[in-house]
Amino acid sequence: MNFKLITTNNDFEDKILDDCDVLLIHEEYLKENTKINFLRKINKIKILAFHTKKTIFNNFKDKIQLPTTIKDINQIIENSIIKKSFNKNSSIKIKNYILNKNEKKLSKLKQFITLTEKEVQLLELFLNSKKPISKDNILSSVWNYSADADTHTVETHIYRLRKKVTDKFMDEKFILNNKDGYYL
- Looking at the chain, the number of H-run helices and the number of E-run strands are 6, 9
Structural domain boundaries, residue 57? 14-89
Is beta strand 22-26 parallel, antiparallel or unpaired with respect to 45-50? parallel
DSSP string, 116-166: -HHHHHHHHHHHT-SS-B-HHHHIIIII---TT----HHHHHHHHHHHHHH
Q: What are the tens digits of pLDDT across the range 129-180?
A: 989 999 989 998 898 876 666 678 899 999 999 999 999 999 999 999 999 9
Of 89, 108, 131, the residue at which a domain comes to its end is: 89
Of 89, 120, 154, the residue at which a domain comes to its end is: 89
Is 179 found in the same domain as 140?
yes
- The total domain count for the chain is 2
9 vs 117: CA distance, rounded Å:
49
47 vs 43: CA distance, rounded Å:
12
168 vs 2: CA distance, rounded Å:
47
Distances 43 to 34, 84, 102, 123, 170 between C-alpha atoms, Å: 17, 11, 22, 27, 32
Q: What is the pTM of this model?
A: 0.57
Sequence letter at residue 85: S
Q: What are the tens digits of pLDDT across the range 86-145?
A: 776 688 899 999 999 888 999 999 899 999 999 999 999 999 898 999 998 999 889 887
